[in-house]
Amino acid sequence: MVTAGVLTEFYEWVTVLDRDSPSAPGDYRRGAPQGRHAHGLMPRGAQLLEEVFPGLLAEMAADGAVRAEMLVGHRFRVGGDELPQVATGLRSVQATLPFHEEHLRRRLLERDGVQFMPGVDVVGLVADDASATGIAGVRIILREPGSTEETIAADLVVDAMGRSGRTPYWLEQLGYDRPPEERLTVDVAYASRVVRLTPEGAECVRHLVGGDAKGVSRGILMHAVEGGRHVVTVTGSGSDNSPPVDETGFTDFLSTVAPPDVFQAVMAAESVEPISAYRFPTAIWRRYDKLDRFPTGLIVTGEALCSLSPLFAQGMTAAALEAAALRSCLTGGRHDLPRRFFREAARVVAAPWRMGIGANTSERHPRTATRLQAALMGRIMAAATRDAVVATQLVRVLILLDPPTALMRPRVLWSALTKGARVTDSVVPPPSSQVTAAGPDVV
Ligand SMILES: Cc1cc2nc3c(=O)[nH]c(=O)nc-3n(C[C@H](O)[C@H](O)[C@H](O)COP(=O)(O)OP(=O)(O)OC[C@H]3O[C@@H](n4cnc5c(N)ncnc54)[C@H](O)[C@@H]3O)c2cc1C
């Protein structure tokens, strides 16, 4: 939707197709099952949404989203130690995914020329017979009994169909190569529930509780969200650490990752929704930027382009950064748009992708560079629990505000050396990742 917002600046008509039908405000959609789990919008992403939809953040806050300053009011643990609560001036948006979507959709629909078509399955691309090198639209089937295939013509088709997007297959059908893929085994399971804390519980939890448990690949991310509620998400990597979804199992798991007072606060809370589960096996980066031949009139963005490890909470911000890249490409004209866009989008994606690789601790045969990177990150994380400057720099990198090379500044490295005695082998978040394609260059 943020991409659609950008497109309205350059195209007369923008049509958003989705197989889901509109749900009641706040309802979860079948097409976005991850929406039941904690979804924070990082400050950089929030700032970009505001640029596309001026006034959006104030509207979200007025409707109950929590605008929390990073680190302030955060209880974020690394290997059992909490990061210092220092002012950063960076405010995220804490709300559920349906809330984010609803507000974007509303703002988008206010624009001239925007049309939403829900209940539509996109089933293929339409080749442009005139140019023989382009895409001229999509093939669709309405999700209604007796529907037959139709086409929708478009000057530009944007695949934002999430990680299940079928563009690689459709390209192959049209005689193009599939994009090469980089994959990173993350193997993380999520379990979440929404609760309403007592006033004392809310005081203890503050805005956010996060981080990993000591010595085990388990984590917690607990957010204050709209409606005075909190989303309690627990995560675990590997088969031994899958969080159960039954009451007793979930509670037992929570007790291993939550600080004791937070655990008590959740126990005393009212449960608003049942426990739900999600499994994320592999991060995937489809390298459209590496293809020699690509049709005109088509681009791919969001999770369909790069599905990042969800543990870093960067997906929505990455999608917003890609939308900003698209805007800058379109400002320069439509000539050679896919190639120019994919090159810019690859720059956007490279940093969070490499962070995911840097979090890798259980690769069977890690490259030396990967091992060194993980060791250095371990020391930086440890130093961050003891040094406010390092904590702030680390957060700025994790939220995609600064490049990973900012962690190579002498001030950070000195602190890593002198204060970074290892508290944990993993970085936060702690996925048991495996690199299966290209390796990292920097942290
Ligand atoms: C467990 C989990 C937790 C996450 N936590 C965070 C977080 O805290 N912060 C953050 O920034 N990001 C987070 N993310 C990532 C975030 O959810 C996504 O990056 C974000 O939703 C943007 O995704 P998208 O729009 O590209 O794809 P999606 O959200 O997957 O949307 C794809 C859409 O395409 C539609 N669709 C698919 N195929 C078709 C078809 N053939 N025809 C018609 N429609 C189709 C679907 O219905 C869906 O609406 C998390 C992800 C997961 C899995």
Q: For ligand 1, is residue 99 a contact (CB within 6 Å)? A: no
pLDDT tens for each residue of 353-386: 988 876 655 455 566 777 787 788 889 999 999 9
Query: pLDDT category, 443, cuts 50, 70, 90?
Result: very low
Q: Which atom of ligand 1 approaches the CA of 42 most closely?
A: 11
Query: What is residue 19's predicted lDDT score, i.e. its pLDDT?
Result: 94
Residue identifier of the C-alpha nearest atom 49 of ligand 1: 31
Distance 162 CA to ligand 1 centre (A): 5
First to last CA, the chain: 31
Q: What is the pLDDT of residues 281-294, one digit of tens each?
A: 999 999 999 999 99
Q: What is the pLDDT of residue 427?
A: 44
Q: Is the Cβ atom of 152 under 6 angstroms away from ligand 1?
A: no
- Greater model confidence, 435 or 190: 190
Residue 22's pLDDT is 67
3-state secondary structure 343-393: HHHHHHHHHHHHHHHHCCCCCCCCCHHHHHHHHHHHHHHHHHCCCHHHHHH
What pLDDT score was predicted for residue 359? Answer: 65
Q: How far apart are CA 40 and CA 99, in angstroms?
A: 11
Distance from the alpha carbon of residue 413 to the mean position of ligand 1, in angstroms: 36
Q: Is 161 in the pocket of ligand 1 (CB under 6 A)?
A: yes
* β-bridge mates for residue 120, sequence order: 142
Cβ pair 301, 159 in contact under 8 A: yes
204-218, 363-377, 385-399: least confidently modelled range: 363-377
Residue 68, pLDDT score: 87
* Contact 20 CB / ligand 1 (< 6 Å): yes
Q: Please tell me if the CB atom of residue 124 comes closer than 6 angstroms to any atom of ligand 1.
A: no
31: part of which helix (H) or strand (E)? none
The answer, yes or no, to whether any atom of ligand 1 lies below 6 A from the CB of 122, is yes
Question: Is the CB of 378 inside a 6 Å radius of any atom of ligand 1?
Answer: no
What does the pLDDT read at residue 428? Answer: 46
**DSSP string computed for 241-309:** GPPP-SHHHHHHHHHHHS-HHHHHHHHTSEE-S--EEEEEEEEEEE-GGG-S---BTEEE-GGGTEE--
The tokens describing 160, both together, are 């934002």
d(CA 120, CA 159) in angstroms, rounded, equals 14
Region class of 394: left (phi > 0), else alpha (psi between -120 and 50), else beta? alpha
Mean pLDDT of 67-96: 90
Say if ligand 1 is within 6 A of residue 160 CB: yes
Residue 430 has pLDDT above 90, yes or no: no
Environment class of 368 (CB within 10 Å of its CB; exposed 0-12, middle 13-18, buried 19+)? exposed
Query: Encoding tokens for residue 356?
Result: 């995911």
Q: Does 397 score more than 90 pLDDT?
A: yes
Instruction: Tell me how far the alpha carbon of residue 35 lies from the centroid of ligand 1, in angstroms.
Output: 8
> Averaged over 113-132, what is the pLDDT?
92
Contact 302 CB / ligand 1 (< 6 Å): yes
Residue nearest to atom 12 of ligand 1 (CA): 315
Would the CB of 308 count as within 6 Å of ligand 1? no
pLDDT reported for residue 28: 84
**Average pLDDT value for the chain:** 90
Nearest atom in ligand 1 to the alpha carbon of residue 120 is 43
C-alpha to C-alpha distance for 410 and 388, rounded to whole angstroms: 15
Please identify, by atom number, the ligand 1 atom nearest to the C-alpha of residue 314. 11
Please identify, by atom number, the ligand 1 atom nearest to the C-alpha of residue 1: 25
413 contacts 107 by C-beta, under 8 angstroms: no
Read out DSSP for 66-95? EEEESSTTEEEEETTEEPP------EEEE-
In the predicted model, what is the mean pLDDT of residues 7-22? 94
Distance 316 CA to ligand 1 centre (A): 8
What is the distance in A from the centroid of ligand 1 to the CA of 67? 22
Which helix (H) or strand (E) element contains residue 322?
Answer: helix 315-331
Task: Report which protein residue has its CA nearest ligand 1's atom 22.
Answer: 316
Say how many Å lie between the CA of residue 303 and the centre of ligand 1: 6
18 lines ligand 1 (CB under 6 A): yes
DSSP H helical segments within 16-166, as ranges? 43-52, 56-62, 97-109
HSE-CB at 293 with a 13 A cutoff on CA atoms is 10
Domains defined for the chain, CATH in brackets = 183-280 (3.30.70.2450), 363-431 (no CATH)
How high is the pLDDT of residue 325? Answer: 98
User: How many angstroms does the Cα of residue 376 sit away from the middle of ligand 1?
Assistant: 32
DSSP letters spanning 384-437: HTT-HHHHHHHHHHHTTSS-GGGGGSHHHHHHHHHH---S-SSPSS----EE-S
Task: Return d(Cα 105, Cα 98) in angstroms, integer.
Answer: 10
Q: What pLDDT does 358 receive?
A: 67
For 125-178, how does the pLDDT look when each residue is reduced to its tens digit (9 = 90+)?
Answer: 999 887 778 999 999 999 999 999 999 999 999 999 999 999 999 999 999 999
Residue among 122, 126, 138, 123 nearest 174 (CA): 126
Q: Take residue 443 and report the two structure tokens written for it.
A: 């942290």
Q: What is the pLDDT of residues 216-244, one digit of tens each?
A: 889 999 999 999 999 999 999 988 899 99
Q: Is the CB of 17 under 6 A from ligand 1?
A: yes
Cβ 38 under 6 angstroms from ligand 1 = yes
Instruction: Quickly count: other Cβ atoms within 10 Å of residue 83's Cβ.
Output: 26
Hey, what are 416's tokens? 């890593």
Q: What are phi and psi of 130, to 5 degrees?
A: -65, -45
Structure tokens at 173: 């059908």
